[in-house]
Structures are given as structure tokens and as C-alpha cells.
Amino acid sequence: MNPRHFTSLLDLSGEEFRGIINRAIELKNNHDPDYQPLKGRLLAMIFEKSSTRTRISFEAGMTQFGGNASFLSPRDTQLGRGEPVQDSAKVISSMVDCIMLRTDKHETVTIFARHSSVPVINGLTDQQHPCQLLADMQTYFEFRGDIKGKTVTWIGDGNNMCHSYIHAAMLLDFNLNIACPAGYQPLPQFIKAAGERVRLFNTALEAAQNADLCVTDVWASMGQEEEQRQRELVFKDYQINAAIMNAAHKDALFMHCLPAHRGEEVTAEVIDGPQSVVFAEAENRLHAQKALLEFLLCKK
Ligand code: CP
Ligand code: NVA
């Protein structure tokens, strides 16, 4: 039988996504150190890019569940010396129980999954960051209840996080207002597939009207460091600040996947202010991914 993979949020149904969110909340609130469903199991974590949250949350999650996680970087594996992805997937999956991969090209994750005999998890690609959305949605559910029918505003780059928000809107049925500078909008095929739920706006202020949740991310993602200065100019009107939060609903939340650049995509006043839930969001990476690991590895 083919294993279940998590290369994209769209690998889940809406019902499965809600199930993982609710299970994550349950695991967080009723932590039981004796519950070790992954005893003796090993997660291989391949990181071709930096990480704090993703690495630590998967390591801690596997440990709490009685298993282990093995950190692999291209510097010290043959992947970095050009061993084909297909061969690596076959070999690594013959020895471990699950593989998490953080890499540039989304295709690397889908090829890896096709040739892996165990579940493959997307730990971020240039196109999508689905694990972060499990945590973001868990956080929204904890603070405000179900997100169905609510309005989320995305301001900034139409990047991997924005794409995964589009997928979350499709699965959980919320409205997503997006404001990105021309030339930095999300992939048109993703917008089209989401239908009327997803709307593009010309200005950040228009997009923020009546929002229940405002979200942003860095202007220059990993791999775009050389574009930093030019992006600072292009994105200067796409910052989440007090004026944006004032246009949103009074009880709107603010989220950011972190790491953040205060004074660029968000002001310190907002990210360190009362509407911000960024540290609960970061902690929830642990709980949401434990629920994901259980879903992929323990479900009959
Ligand atoms: N948000 C997130 O994925 O953080 P890391 O890059 O630290 O893993
Ligand atoms: N868009 C960012 C997210 C980091 C968690 C990046 O890809 O670098």
C-alpha cells in the first residue's frame, strides 16, 4: 500500500485538516508523557535550508512520542554531492519510518514522495509551507474557534506561506484577502483553484477591512537574500502596522510564521502588541506536528 504523504495541505481533506487541528489541541491540553505511540520509530529530517522551529519541533515531537529524529544536512550526506533524489528516497525510506524534507524546489519533495516507501512531510519548499498552516490554524481555533466563514488578510509577498494560506482557505472554507505588490502575487493557478474565496486587492488597507486575522511574512525569503534591498523598496507599502490593524475587526489576531523583521513587514508595536499570537503560533508547531505524525504513522 502507498504511504500517506504530506507534501501539501491539499494532500488532506477539510475533515482531516480539522481532525488534525482538534487532535493537536487535545495533545497540548492533556500532555501524557506515557503516551508513546512512536516508540522505536525514526524520523529522518533533511534540511537543505536553515531552521529553528521546524527542526526543534519535529525533534521534540518525536522524542515526546518515544521515537527519535535524525538530522541530515546536504553537507554531510551524499544528497549534497548529487546522489539522485529517487535513489536517496528509496534508500533512506528503507531504513526509517518517516521523512521530513526542507528544500528549494517543490518538485524535489514530490519526487521524493513518489519514490519513498514511508510518509514524506514537506518541511518547507519555495512554493509551500504546509506544516506552518497546521500550527496557524490550530492557533486560530484555540483563540477564536472555527475559522469557517471568517476573513483572513495576507499582506506582503505572494510566497510559500501565502500559497499555503490559499490552500487552507480552500479546505477550511474561509475568505482570504491578499495584497501583494505587482509582480509578487501568488501563483495564478492557485488563486484560480480557490475560486471566489480568494480576492486580490491593490492596497494593504483595502485588504484589511473587516479581517479576523492579519498575516504577513518576511519580504525576502531564504534564498532571496541578495534581493533584500530592492524588495525593501518594492514592499514598503505592504507592512502590517497600527493603521492596518485598525482597519481590521477590533478582535483581529496577528500571526507571522517567524523569523520576523521588525520595522519591515511588521512594526514592533503590532508583533509585540496585544493582538499578536506569534509565540503561541510558534509553540503550536510542536503540537500540530505531533498530531500530523500520529495521523501519518499511527492511523490504521
Ligand atoms: N516558521 C518556520 O518554519 O521557522 P524555521 O525556519 O525556524 O523552521
Ligand atoms: N517565506 C519564508 C518562511 C520561513 C519560515 C522563507 O521561505 O524563508
Angle between helices 278-298 and 14-29 (to 10 degrees): 110
* Predicted local confidence at residue 300, as pLDDT: 64
Gap between the Cα atoms of 175 and 178, Å rounded: 10
Gap between the Cα atoms of 101 and 81, Å rounded: 17
Q: Helical H runs in the chain?
A: 14-29, 53-64, 85-93, 106-114, 130-144, 160-172, 188-194, 204-208, 228-234, 242-247, 268-271, 278-298
With a pLDDT cut of 70, the percent of the chain lying above it is: 99
Atom 4 of ligand 1 has which residue's CA nearest to it? 53
Question: Pocket of ligand 2, candidates 222, 261, 264, 281: which has the most ligand atoms within 8 Å of its Cβ, to mutate?
Answer: 222
CB 13 within 8 A of CB 171: yes
Whole-angstrom CA distances from 275 to 67, 237, 252 are 36, 21, 7
- Is 285 considered catalytic here? yes
User: Which is catalytic among the residues 64, 127, 128, 132?
Assistant: 132
CB 119 within 8 A of CB 296: yes
pTM of the model: 0.98
* Predicted local confidence at residue 9, as pLDDT: 98
Atom 6 of ligand 1 has which residue's CA nearest to it? 51
- Is 53 considered catalytic here? no
In the predicted structure, residue 234 carries a pLDDT above the cut 70 = yes
pLDDT (tens digit per residue) in 123-133: 999 999 999 99
In the predicted structure, residue 299 carries a pLDDT above the cut 80 = no
Average pLDDT, integer, range 206-222? 98
pLDDT (tens digit per residue) in 39-87: 999 999 999 999 999 999 999 999 999 999 999 998 889 989 999 999 9
What is the DSSP-derived secondary structure letter of residue 84? -
- Is 180 considered catalytic here? no
Ligand 2 interacting residues, C-beta cut-off 6 A? 124, 129, 159-161, 217-218, 221-222, 257
User: Looking at ligand 2, which atom is closest to the CA of residue 132?
Assistant: 5
Neighbours of 284 (CB within 10 A): 27
User: Looking at ligand 1, which atom is closest to the CA of residue 257?
Assistant: 1
C-alpha cell of residue 197: 474565496
Gap between the Cα atoms of 217 and 170, Å rounded: 20
**Ligand in nearest proximity to the CA of 257:** 1
Domains along the chain with CATH numbers? 9-129+285-297 (3.40.50.1370), 132-281 (3.40.50.1370)
* Predicted local confidence at residue 182, as pLDDT: 97
- Between 2 and 286, the higher pLDDT residue: 286
Type of residue at 196? E
Q: How confident is the model at residue 275 (pLDDT cuts 50, 70, 90)?
A: very high
C-alpha cell of residue 68: 527519535
Average pLDDT, integer, range 152-170? 98
Q: What is the mean pLDDT of the chain?
A: 97
CB 198 within 8 A of CB 167: no
C-alpha cell of residue 55: 527542526
Q: How confident is the model at residue 15 (pLDDT cuts 50, 70, 90)?
A: very high
Handedness of CA 145, 149, 152, 158 (dihedral sign): positive
* Predicted local confidence at residue 194, as pLDDT: 98
